[in-house]
Structure 1
């Protein structure tokens, strides 16, 4: 672009890409198309084959940006996941993330051998690349949907924990193709070590991050989200350097942090939500730039890609789900939905760059077909998830999107916090006036949101179902507040009398 230096052009393009990504996300819901498909389309349009605006053929750059983005997306997804929701579905999620990936990869590999005409080792490499569901795609498509919590939690936990298996299989098969010296026992041991180290590092750094966030007094509340994000990057790098699964470590650390009682919890969550969206936009646009449509949308690639997509969506994934969830109390409707909602996204495309950087034979063919499979999966599966859930009657009550907001300006050295508490039918304070609740004199309900309207509280104000209370409490009395809000109604009534 005339008159602009290289850094200026880069900053301009970054701004344009982010604006295009945000607008794309805005209109994707109305169009019924997953946002990630449109992000990829933006990258492809800006690439060399269509407008010639940007030329990118360096898989190392795409790989680096993809891994960094996945760290942040997994971290944000883990923060938002409640342990009480995930705990009941851990068994099927882990089974799908391990056994399910192996079954899917094996079936797809058999198809790839026949359809692509490559060696068996390369076929299993292709199967491993597309064998796992994608956290970025699953989190983005399921977010805000009113699909049953059990199914949503299973899919999110599976996609958050199956990346290690896909990464392990991909890298191992590349090593076998290049070196061919590993034995089955060695490979199995290596996998278990990676998973074990990832879990230990994730738990350890998750607890360390939670402790540090609550104990340190920073001069600006805006530093707390940055501090939390730094732990995500540190967790990944430490796990990877120690031979463990960095992505699994990040997800587990985020689960631990997100289920702790944190200082500036909402600031941390909102910052990471926005940052995850930004990285998702950049990641898919960069992956779109890496693709040359003239190579991908050839009749030969389209034909082979469609056959493998159909095999993946209608045979491999359903068989993997059925076998991985045997005797786990999922009915056939739920298994159909779990099969269809196993989206492929950024992870397979990022993994497909590893054969490119390794210089394997047929690596460009595999990358092009993987990209086409991901595109069709996101376009077909992603756009039909909600209608399928409605058809199978697997939806719950619509999840309300609160229109209120309460922004708190504070410094880290304050000795009090605002606690947000939502009242429901099981809440002990339901139906009582504020003066009947035995709060200490320095615990104050200073705002109530009722049906999206602000209610100024007084001692005579009754607490109703659905109310959102904003309670000012000294940090040293947060445990006392939690005890009062969570104790049984009869006990609370006796205390108030």
Structure 2
């Protein structure tokens, strides 16, 4: 019992400190993951932890939850125009980054070619957890933000594939690279197809099932995300890609209990980030990092200033992005949990230089997140890539009222809404539908019949489930945003 009590005390301290550090990280301009990693490294001095398998399992579970949270909050209307550049960055970009970094690592660390390429593959992808946390609350250009979020959410399959195939080639030199690349396209295809299919099934189940306890709907949605990964992975597809695709579909559907599901996802994703990064920090011994100090710094510099920019400019050569935008995307190639989790693969596989690879990757991630993450806002301002305040994107959230057929919808009024300039008494809302609150300029107003709606208002609408579509049409019109939620 003493051990259980000590572990529970440790977990509680990790969560409390983790939540508090998010406040300090935003003030210091640092990604929160840096503080979590450092916290784990400090705890490492008092607690001995070297369970790589457990860390890999928890890391994979955390990535599923983080991707699900990021995907559900991604607006399809934003990412659809940038699917081309995001897909190119997620495939060709990762391949070029991995190759360039791997060649450098081969000479710097005196590795064989395959070992160098393995390290390059491990750090080749941008990290969804890092990107979502850094970009989420910043006023960057929305097109760039959408491109980076879509890239980070979909580029893990390429990094995982390269890591696994290179480990196999090191262990079994006869492995055919061409057959392996055929397997990659199979993984991507299955990930896309199963992600879409399971996303559609998830939306149908959540909207049709009537649970007695409304708090179970977020648990159902999270279970569906883990199920999507497990099924896709067992069938030979990319589980992480399937989860992201499924989450985007779920997040952009007309979903009951949407509000509670998204809020639960957000809190759970943060909790998993805290636990995951702290555990990853526990695996690292600071004294071992000094053994790869200059090598890690040199590889990180090559990755940030040479490999990533080359990959971005080549993979986006035919894309409609100007020089400033490409420079920003180059600098936003943040590294985080995915490279460190992938760095556990060589350890489990028993490769000769696995510990050296792990420590070097950890050092590279630390430098990348510390330098790039803390300077993104500054660079965006210098390049004049900060975006304007949003006023035209409809946002709908549903708050279910227990076991009733009624829900509260939270709807942001776009500038082209037919309700703009109309008094509430003149709105053609369905019967038994009421506007119970108006949020304007961060102030909550009590609505009356003479209240006039303005663009940018957020209204809270009490409506029966069967009247949701008609109420949204009255407030949003028959625009693309309305169709996306119907």
- Shorter-chain TM-score: which interval? over 0.9
Instruction: Please name the residue that 2:63 is paired with.
Output: 70
Runs of 4+ in 1 over 3 A off after TM superposition: 406-409
What pairs with 1:312-327 in structure 2 (closer than 5 Å)?
A: 312-327=303-318
In the comparison of the two structures, how many residue pairs are matched? Answer: 474
1:449/1:455 contact within 8 Å kept? yes
Please state if 1:21 is matched with 2:21. no
Instruction: Please name the residue that 1:160 is paired with.
Output: 153
Instruction: Please name the residue that 2:273 is paired with.
Output: 280
CA RMSD of aligned residues (A): 1.5
Please state if 1:178 is matched with 2:171. yes
2:229/2:243 contact within 8 Å kept? yes
Relative to structure 1, is the Cα distance of residues 33 and 438 closer, same or farther in structure 2, using a 3 angstrom cutoff?
A: same
Please state if 1:12 is matched with 2:9. yes
2:258/2:399 contact within 8 Å kept? no
2:328/2:380 contact within 8 Å kept? yes
Output the CA distance in 2 between the equivalents of 1:190 and 1:408.
43
Instruction: Please name the residue that 1:493 is paired with.
Output: none
User: How far did residue 481 of structure 1 move?
Assistant: 1.6
Q: What SS is found at the alignment partner of 2:60? A: helix
Output the CA distance in 1 between the equivalents of 2:304 and 2:400.
49
Q: What SS is found at the alignment partner of 2:343? A: helix
What pairs with 1:100-249 in structure 2 (closer than 5 Å)?
A: 100-249=93-242
User: How far did residue 409 of structure 1 move?
Assistant: 7.1
Please state if 1:302 is matched with 2:293. yes
Output the CA distance in 1 between the equivalents of 2:341 and 2:390.
33
1:458 maps to which of 426, 439, 448: 448
2:343/2:358 contact within 8 Å kept? yes
User: How far did residue 408 of structure 1 move?
Assistant: 5.6
Relative to structure 1, is the Cα distance of residues 165 and 488 closer, same or farther in structure 2, using a 3 angstrom cutoff?
A: closer
Output the CA distance in 1 between the equivalents of 2:177 and 2:287.
40
Please state if 1:255 is matched with 2:227. no
Q: What SS is found at the alignment partner of 1:297? A: helix
Deviations 1:207-264 (A, max 9, x none): 0000111001111211111110000000000001001111000000000000001101
Q: Is there any run of 5+ residues in structure 1 with no aligned partner, and where? A: 401-405, 490-497
User: How far did residue 29 of structure 1 move?
Assistant: 1.1
1:145/1:399 contact within 8 Å kept? no
Greater CA deviation, 452-461 or 134-143?
Answer: 452-461
Relative to structure 1, is the Cα distance of residues 327 and 474 closer, same or farther in structure 2, using a 3 angstrom cutoff?
A: same
Instruction: Please name the residue that 2:467 is paired with.
Output: 477
1:428/1:488 contact within 8 Å kept? no
1:36 maps to which of 29, 33, 57: 33
Q: Is there any run of 5+ residues in structure 2 with no aligned partner, and where? A: 392-396, 480-486
Instruction: Please name the residue that 1:424 is paired with.
Output: 414
| Normalised TM-score (structure 2) | 0.95
Please state if 1:57 is matched with 2:50. yes
Q: What SS is found at the alignment partner of 1:69? A: helix
| Normalised TM-score (structure 1) | 0.93
Output the CA distance in 2 between the equivalents of 1:434 and 1:247.
45
Output the CA distance in 1 between the equivalents of 2:389 and 2:428.
34
Output the CA distance in 2 between the equivalents of 1:167 and 1:152.
24
Instruction: Please name the residue that 2:483 is paired with.
Output: none
Deviations 1:414-433 (A, max 9, x none): 11111111123211100000
Output the CA distance in 2 between the equivalents of 1:178 and 1:327.
38
Greater CA deviation, 463-472 or 97-106?
Answer: 463-472
Deviations 1:319-372 (A, max 9, x none): 000000012111000000000001011100000000001100111111111110
Output the CA distance in 2 between the equivalents of 1:488 and 1:160.
30
Relative to structure 1, is the Cα distance of residues 365 and 450 closer, same or farther in structure 2, using a 3 angstrom cutoff?
A: same
Greater CA deviation, 373-382 or 452-461?
Answer: 452-461
